Amino acid sequence: MPYVPTRDIITYYEEAGSGRPLVLIRGLGSDLQAWSLQVPELAKHFRVITYDNRGAGRTGAPDKPYTIAGMADDLAALLDGLDIPTACILGYSMGGMIAQEFALKYPSRVEKLILLGTSAGLDGYSREVIRNFVSVRRSNMSREQVVRQQAPFIYSAELLDDEARYERAIQATVSNPYAQQDHAFIRQAEAILGFNAAARVSGIKTATLVVTNKDDILVPPRNGEALAKAIPGATLVSLDAGHAGCVEYPNEHNAAFVDFLSVAVPA
> Has residue 267 got a pLDDT over 60?
no
pLDDT score, position 265:
61
Instruction: Compute CA distances 204 → 69, 136, 151, 170, 199, whole Å.
Output: 15, 35, 33, 37, 11
> Has residue 32 got a pLDDT over 60?
yes
Q: What percentage of residues in the chain have a pLDDT greater than 70?
A: 98
pLDDT tens-digit map of 205-247: 999 999 999 999 999 999 999 999 999 999 999 999 999 999 9
Domain 3-262: CATH superfamily is Alpha/Beta hydrolase fold, catalytic domain (3.40.50.1820)
pLDDT score, position 263:
78
pLDDT tens-digit map of 97-152: 999 999 999 999 999 999 999 999 999 999 999 999 999 999 989 999 999 999 99
pLDDT score, position 117:
98
> Has residue 266 got a pLDDT over 80?
no
Coarse DSSP helix, strand, coil percentages of the chain, rounded to the nearest 5 percent: 45, 20, 35
Residue 45 phi/psi, 5° resolution? -120, -25
Radius of gyration of the chain (CA): 17
> Has residue 191 got a pLDDT over 60?
yes
| Overall size of the chain counted in residues | 267
> Has residue 203 got a pLDDT over 90?
yes
Give the DSSP H or E segment for 22.
Answer: strand 21-25
Handedness of CA 34, 217, 115, 27 (dihedral sign): negative
DSSP, res 243: T
CB 160 within 8 A of CB 35: no
Q: How high is the mean pLDDT of the chain?
A: 96
135 Cβ partners below 8 Å, 6+ apart?
A: none
Pairing of strands 110-116, 207-213: parallel
pLDDT score, position 103:
98
pLDDT score, position 16:
98
What's the rounded mean pLDDT across residues 40-50? 98
pLDDT tens-digit map of 156-171: 999 999 999 999 999 9
What's the rounded mean pLDDT across residues 185-210? 98
CB 98 within 8 A of CB 53: yes
